[in-house]
Structure 1
């Protein structure tokens, strides 16, 4: 057996599947109770579709909220499309799951953050000691995305 088990990639795929399943349920039944989502995504990721004025305004990443004002949520295997209101102007967006950086449902203190190898490299540049923490796995060096649970404190107002 060569290589070993790629837990990072397996977790990445499982978390994207979770987002797919949650959005599929919302598309079929609507948002239950107080649930709502903050979804941050890479606006430059291949196959992201959004109006030119939005990509000009958000050249790196953008956070959208699925709560009260969204329409026509369509969930596919590779991503989802939704119509959101910006001011009074409706805009259709398509977001591939691989473009998602964070997915948060603050109503139940649930969140996911997907990191790229580049994110890990930036974090390493800030540290004097490049050795991974004891007991912690090294990041894969193949540029794949990792998934991790987000601490919701980072989204709270101070």
Structure 2
């Protein structure tokens, strides 16, 4: 359930893109147990973890939410901000005290439209993160609910 370093902010984005993005960052803190967002809520911001651990979860009717992945330093929390209708598809909770960089989604999307190189680089990074999370969700849900587990031998 841990992410791979290849899609961390510091290694996945060119230095100039990281610099421009960080110019829009606000530093925020979350206490252990705080929800950064809940599935179905309005996706109007996103975060890059500075320190601490955030879990992503998916609502499972009649059961506790299933934890899909644990995120740490340098990792993106929230992808739904990039895609209309800008609604969270997962939930996120601080499992430890978390320090993060917070970004206003509208402002970032505006810059992505104005600067196509920036937009392409950021969009590619978010796409990589989404592909990884889709696979992590598949494996985790199979582990939890399939009769023979994930079948990770495939």
TM (normalized to structure 2)? 0.27
User: Which structure is higher in RCO with an 8 Å CA cutoff and minimum separation 6?
Assistant: 2
More strand by share: 1
Q: TM-score, normalised by structure 1?
A: 0.27
Larger Rg: 1
